Amino acid sequence: MPIYNPKFMPKLIIDDITVEVPEGTTVLEAAQSVDIPIPHFCWHPALGKAGACRVCAVKMLDGPVRGIQMSCMLPAQDGMVVSTTDPEAMAMRKGVIEWLMINHPHDCPVCDEGGECQLQDFTIAGGHGIRRYDGKKRTHTNQYLGEFIAHEMNRCIQCYRCVRFYQGYAGGTDFGVMGRASMVYFGRQQEGPLDSPFSGNLVDICPTGVFTDKTARFRARYWDYDLAASVCPHCSLGCNITPAARYRELLKVIARRNDAVNGWFICDRGRFANAAVNAPERPRQALVDGKPVTVNEALDVLVLRVGEFLELHGPASLAIVGSPRMSLEGNIMAARLCKLLDAGALSYVGDAVQAERTMGAVSLLASGNAASLADVRQADLIVVAGCDLLEEAPMMALAARQAHRNGARVFVVGDECALDGARQELYESQAVTSLSDIPLTEAKRPVVICGTHPKRPDTAPLMAPLFGKKGLQTPVKFAFILDGPNAFGCALLGREHDAVPLSQAFAGGAIKGLISFEADLPAELTAGITVLAATDWQPTGLMQRAEVVLPCTAWVEQDGTFINNEGRAQRFKQVMRPGLPIKGLDPAGHPPRIHRNDAPGGDVAPSDRVIAMLIQRITGDTPVDGPLSGRWEGLRSLDADGEGKRLTDAA
């Protein structure tokens, strides 16, 4: 691998625009940096170059290299004069597209990629409109690749992106390329579900329609979707996503680039585990004692019942329960409700060990020592302790793999999370029993990844001596795997408002009733406790037991904020309006046959709004401040399209 001087900036001219870029930048990237588009299929920012498709041709008019060149393969050099519009270059690109299209089925009208297809775009942009070849097309047999990904090999243009991602980037071994010359086949030795927990990225990375999302098949075109910048709620890493919805139904999830967090990719859990949003059993109706009422009626009854409860048992007997899967805004409002009612306990977590470990992790992540996923990808030494990365935070495992591919050594402390055969494909690791076995002094960018799961050994005390340790080339950075997309936010709020784990609150026997917001609590923990009210968009046990049921919006139906495991606050935006999906209204899937202005089941609000309405009723209609006020004011201007704001940096 060539060693580049990051300070040297070659200067070149592309289409009469002078461009200065860091050494090592390709001509294609240099052109992109000044918004000059060059067609490309095989090149991808995360996968680099392959020189396979030949569609990025440009003409080098002057300088150290002359003639037609592939811009993705050529490093920018001083004195280059490049033309992307030279007739010879344009003719070359047009010819390449024509060759690529010779065997392509031209099936855009029935292809799910249509409208979001790079091949379609560059074919049209390149001016290839008339098909001259009238011979027989090469055809392939497709494979069943599992329930998530559809395979249509005839659309393939042999860019090799899929295999470079699947095997190289993600370490999968059950998918590859077979054949020779123009008869190459991208698939499995035998058909069957793809093994990789990152297989869904094939859908995003394929520049044509070979791999499409089977779960959203034939449901919409790209321009039909409701789309917005969002954040994955399935673990604590906060990977950036773009959910795509239509007619109040979440149809699919696309990875969204954030170089500081997930880069270009997401895991299959984040992409495919979202059926709960559209589930028929999702609570959409406010209930009082099991009877349907409006949200306003339910809130009125709740105010009365809370009053009666407090009179009978006293405020110390009431617990307000928030949750690490609820937005920061919702959890802030839960704390306000607790203060207003002078309730006996505010809880964000049920399990005491989990709460203690999360609090400990958040306290340890002071300024500068929290590792982002980008830090993990760039690490030269990684220590993994007390966690199963693929299970608890798959994208952290993928980040560790990138570091390993670049030469980082990975050490696993203890043998409780030894990697099984399948997982060793991601990175090779060395099991050690103590920190003294790890050559930390040799590392320039060491990162320690620590779990906090209550069922695993507590490794944070073992790692504690590394915080601020002297004598290392660079201070160690830390990444903790927490439980839930907003576990960090809950820990900050818990510290601020003296929250206690619910198991601890119940231990004294004083708590007799609770009001919960998007909380997942085991049935045995809350046995014998009156559930005065529960707010959720998932059909939890608490929702089934609650006297007053208040459905709320899912994260894709509201704006909100999650704080990820490194303390990065990220805004997610409303993707779709709440309400019963049109498909769910009629078993035959027909749209409603009556005209109405509101969406059936759309009478729901985000949890923070539900709490604000409750507070307003209790205080006699006093206006309620928005949740992001006071110490949270700085998060109001968070841009969902940005990299987020690290609260640990500000400390």
Contacts with ligand FES by CB under 6 A lie at 40-43, 51-56, 70, 72
Residue 32 or 77: the one with the smaller Cβ distance to ligand FES is: 32
In the complex with ligand FES, the residue whose CB is nearer, 122 or 517, is 122
CB closer to ligand FES out of 57 and 479: 57
- Looking at residue 103, the DSSP 8-state letter turns out to be S
Report CA Rg, the chain: 27
Dist. CA 305–CA 326, nearest whole Å: 24
The residues facing 231 across adjacent strands are: 240
The smaller minimum CB distance to ligand FES, of residues 58 and 426, is found at 58
Provide the minimum distance between the beta carbon of 49 and ligand FES in the complex, in angstroms, as a whole number: 6
Nearest distance, CB of residue 16 and ligand FES, angstroms:
22
| Shortest spacing between CB 208 and ligand FES, in angstroms | 13
Q: Tokens 């990629």 label which residue?
A: 113
Q: What Cα–Cα distance (Å) separates residue 554 from each residue in 241, 322, 579, 599?
A: 15, 15, 10, 15
Q: How far apart are CA 115 and CA 390, in angstroms?
A: 34
Please state, as a whole number, how many other Cβ atoms lie within 10 Å of the Cβ of residue 622.
Answer: 8
Which residue has 């997610």 as its token pair? 572
Q: How many CB atoms lie within 10 A of CB 278?
A: 17
Can you tell me the distance from the alpha carbon of 607 to that of 283, in angstroms, rounded to the nearest whole number? 14
For ligand FES, which is the closer residue by CB, 54 or 151? 54
Using the minimum distance from each CB to ligand FES, give the nearer residue, 94 or 577.
94
CB atoms within 10 A of CB 582: 17
Least Å from the CB of residue 63 to ligand FES: 19
How far lies 54's CA from each of 143, 166, 396, 563, in Å?
Answer: 28, 22, 34, 43
Give the shortest CB-57-to-ligand FES separation in angstroms. 8
User: Which one, 102 or 651, has the nearer CB to ligand FES?
Assistant: 102
Q: How far is the CB of 534 from ligand FES (least distance, A)?
A: 53
Provide, rounded to whole angstroms, the least separation between the CB of residue 96 and ligand FES: 9
21 or 396: CB nearest ligand FES: 21
Q: How far is the CB of 177 from ligand FES (least distance, A)?
A: 16
Q: What is the smallest separation between the CB atom of 53 and ligand FES, expressed in angstroms? A: 3
Nearer to ligand FES, 42 or 374 (CB): 42
Spell out the SS3 assignment of 110-160: HCCCCCCCHHHHHHHHCCCCCCCCCCCCCCCCCCCCCCCEEECHHHCCCCC
Helix 487-497 and helix 352-364: axis angle, to 10°? 90
HEC secondary structure over 560-608: EEEECCCCEEEEECCCCCCCCCHHHHCCCCCCCCCCCCCCCCCCCECHH
